[in-house]
Amino acid sequence: MPLGSDSLFPPVRRRSYVFITCFVLVAVTFISLLSSSVWNIRPSPYLPTGGSQETWSQNPQGEHDPYHHQYFLKGPPTERFRDNLLPNVKYITSWISAGWTNDVMTYINLIYLGFLTNRVPIVGMFTPSHIGGHVPPINFGDVFDVPRLAKALRLPVVEWHQVKNLTHGDLDELGCWNLWEAVQDREHMARRSSVPDLLKLDISYTTAPTGIKLIPRYEHDQHASFSSLAALSFPETRAENLVEPRASPYHAVKLPPDEQVLCYDYLYYVSAHQPFEFDFDFSPAWLFVGQHMHWTAELESITDGYIRRAFGTQEGQPTPPWISIHVRHGDFRNWCEGETKDCFAPISVIARRVEEVKKELLERKGLTVDYVIMTSDERDPKWWEEVTAQGWFGLDHSQTEEIYGPW
């Protein structure tokens, strides 16, 4: 999970993170099984703008969907993004700049800030940082079910490709806040990201005040607080903190942070209460956004196929319930200081956690789960033998790239 390459946690803490990761992933699977019926008490801050779109938008069940992106844009993607924005709607956006898991968390933080700032989040694409630049990006909505998310949140979630025609669009100028330079001292620039170029944006950055830091003046952590970023989005605090913007890279324009499309360079390092709080029960980003994210129906169906083949489920039989574990070893070795034996959680420890999850599922949901799936980038056949000796299943990915591409 949150193991950014620029994480400044000391080695001891990092090591415990490797262990924690395994447990968290078991827990995440468990939570995803439970989260289908979530209580939503939040009143909607948005109403359909009405009249802006002729199309009455409906969700796949044929119900009227007031959070459909078309209500929050003028129409199909335009060559300049501003031509598609509704004058009475305010938006918020940001870019990703890490590995895929961190990028998902970054977009969750962005959407959560949508609530705090009373703005419609515009989410970008996922970039193939973990595979290589030759692979095209993937839209957020091709991975996560955005209409379902928006409905659960009662907050519209718009995607950049719906706002702007990214193949034929022009270069747009935009003023954004640079948080990165306010929270750390090593890099004297806004956080690097490939997303603005993909969106054809020419960004002029205004450095945010260092007061946004979650732990004031503490150089060993680089989190900003959600509330300070929310405050920066409102006119008074914004005005108090305006400094000379930096010239944009293409047109060399200097623009203050945009008032209609609020944007921040990077939102991975944002917390409400303490750094790296995502795996705590109080994490508001998880509580109010993360837990409502579901894979698209297409991904669910591909997954179901892989799982049924692994289990040997007969046609006409339902897929049995399962618990999955993802154990990432590959690059996590770098945090182990040479010796992985005492660094990675052994299978016996994971098995104990799996038993705990099984027990809880039985107690809380009356569900007996017999099937366990392990996914991992570990190549050691001995390790996999230990996995299958538990009666657990692996998935056959020998043809995945051929059929579906690199990701």
Ligand X SMILES: *[C@@H]1O[C@H](CO)[C@@H](O)[C@H](O)[C@H]1NC(C)=O
The nearer residue to ligand X, 160 or 264, going by C-beta atoms, is 160
Q: Minimum distance between the CB of residue 106 and ligand X, rounded to whole angstroms?
A: 24
Shortest Å, Cβ 347 to ligand X: 47
CB 209 within 8 A of CB 182: yes
Structural tokens at position 363: 């107690």
Nearer to ligand X, 138 or 351 (CB): 138
Q: How far is the CB of 173 from ligand X (least distance, A)?
A: 20
* Least distance from ligand X to the Cβ atom of residue 201, Å: 17
Residue 199: closest CA among 235, 250, 149, 240:
250
Q: Which of residues 84 and 228 has its CB atom nearest to ligand X in the complex?
A: 84
- Name the β-bridge partners of 58: 64
Nearer to ligand X by Cβ, of 138 and 395: the residue is 138
Residue 363 backbone phi and psi in degrees, to 5: -65, -45
Q: Which of 194, 104, 142, 148 is nearest to 404 (CA)?
A: 142
The terminus-to-terminus CA distance of the chain in angstroms comes to 19
Q: Name the site residues for ligand X (rule: CB under 6 A).
A: 76-77, 165, 167-168
48-64 CB burial, b ≥16 within 10 A, e <16: bbeeebeeebeeeeeee
Beta carbon nearer to ligand X, 118 or 165:
165
Task: For residue 176, report the phi and psi dihedrals to the nearest 5 degrees.
Answer: -135, 160
Comparing CB distances to ligand X, the nearer of 77 and 141 is 77
Q: What is the largest CA-CA distance in the chain?
A: 66
Closest contact distance (angstroms) between CB of 23 and ligand X is 42
* Residue 182 tokens, joined: 């306010």
- Residues 257, 177 contacting (CB under 8 angstroms): yes
Min dist. Cβ of residue 143 to ligand X (A): 18
Cβ nearer to ligand X, comparing 171 with 189: 171
With both helix axes pointing from N to C terminus, report the angle between 347-365 and 381-389 in degrees, rounded to the nearest 10. Answer: 30
Compute the least distance from the CB of residue 114 to ligand X, in Å.
24
Give CA–CA dist 247/263, Å, rounded: 16
Helix (H) or strand (E) holding 236: helix 235-240
Cβ at position 217, least distance to ligand X in Å: 46
Give CA–CA dist 80/39, Å, rounded. 39
Cβ at position 405, least distance to ligand X in Å:
20
Q: Which is nearer to ligand X, 29 or 78 (CB)?
A: 78
**Do 31 and 291 contact (CB within 8 A), yes or no?**
yes
From CA 382, how far away is CA 378, in angstroms rounded?
Answer: 10
Smallest distance from ligand X to CB 78, Å = 9
| CB closer to ligand X, 77 vs 156 | 77
Q: Rank residues 167 and 348 by Cβ distance to ligand X and give the closer one.
A: 167
Half-sphere exposure of 236 (CA within 13 A, CB side): 2
Computed over its alpha carbons, how large is the radius of gyration of the chain? 22
Chain centre to alpha carbon of residue 229:
18
At what angle are helices 146-153 and 100-117 packed, to 10 degrees? 40
